[in-house]
Amino acid sequence: MKRFEACIFDLDGVIVDTAKYHYKAWNTIAQKLGFEFTWEENEQLKGVSRVDSLEIILQIGNVVISNEERQSYLVLKNDIYLDLIKNMNPSEILPGVEDFLRQLQKQEIKIALGSASKNARPILERVHLINLFEVIVDGNEVSKGKPDPEVFEKGAKLLNVEARKTIVFEDSISGIIAANNGGFRSVGIGEQKNLNEAEYVIPGFKDISANDIFKALS
């Protein structure tokens, strides 16, 4: 019996680096609201839904707007973002990711995506990875954002696997906490100091084998 049966991946910062596009879109919104939004401040939006991201930005700028204005800014942000990602291609897959996914496939480990992004499917299509994922759960299918584990729980249910036999790969602290809250095994992608809640942390998938991860979590 295999110790691990499935892996669930976040999208932004794990499979592809779309952070720069989100940042450009949110900075445009901030400028329209009358202030500059820095790359450092953008770190606070990692793994956070669009609605909650807008709230953080309004707090940073100390700006109060009506619910109607909120809705129009949310739509505008998404329109700007969609325009920016139109030309995404396989060169934007993060180093080592495709090889890692194919190793999992060879070992018959089930693969799912669990992302707050509502644009996960078009992005995976543009980078030609969509066929490697058996299940995709994105922001269109969940009502609770991370650190709630809903997105991972739905993925595990659709894959028909138990949380304890499933590894979640995340680059945000809210995503790691969501995985831990749901009883999943958690691997952080990035720096240890930012992801100290994760069971194991790697800088990225370059030169990392699936067996390295399985050993580290055994």
pLDDT tens string 162-205: 999 999 999 999 999 999 999 999 999 999 998 999 999 999 99
CATH of domain 19-85: 1.10.150.240
Query: Is 12 a catalytic site residue?
Result: yes
Check residue 62 and give its pLDDT. Answer: 96
Check residue 83 and give its pLDDT. Answer: 95
Q: Which of 17-21, 53-57, 85-89, 106-110 has the lowest mean pLDDT?
A: 17-21
Share the mean pLDDT of the chain. 95
Check residue 19 and give its pLDDT. Answer: 84
The pair of three-digit structure tokens given for residue 151, joined into one six-digit string: 């997105």
Q: What value does the mean pLDDT take over residues 4-23?
A: 94
Q: What value does the mean pLDDT take over residues 14-18?
A: 93
pLDDT at 20 over 80: yes
6-17+90-217 against 19-85: fold identical: no
Q: What value does the mean pLDDT take over residues 157-161?
A: 98
pLDDT tens string 86-96: 999 999 999 99
pLDDT at 46 over 90: no
Alpha carbon distance 98, 101 (integer Å): 5
Check residue 196 and give its pLDDT. Answer: 94
% of the chain beyond a pLDDT of 90: 88
% of the chain beyond a pLDDT of 70: 99
Q: DSSP string of 129-188?
A: -GGG-SEEE-TTT-SS-TTSTHHHHHHHHHHT--GGGEEEEESSHHHHHHHHHTT-EEEE
Check residue 75 and give its pLDDT. Answer: 96
Fold for 6-17+90-217, please state it: Rossmann fold (3.40.50)
pLDDT at 1 over 60: no
Domain ranges of the chain: 6-17+90-217, 19-85
How sure is the predictor about 118, in pLDDT bands with cuts at 50, 70 and 90? confident
Alpha carbon distance 217, 90 (integer Å): 30
Comparing C-alpha atoms, which of 187, 7, 14 is closest to residue 108?
7
Pairwise pLDDT comparison (15 vs 49), residue with the higher score: 15
How sure is the predictor about 18, in pLDDT bands with cuts at 50, 70 and 90? confident
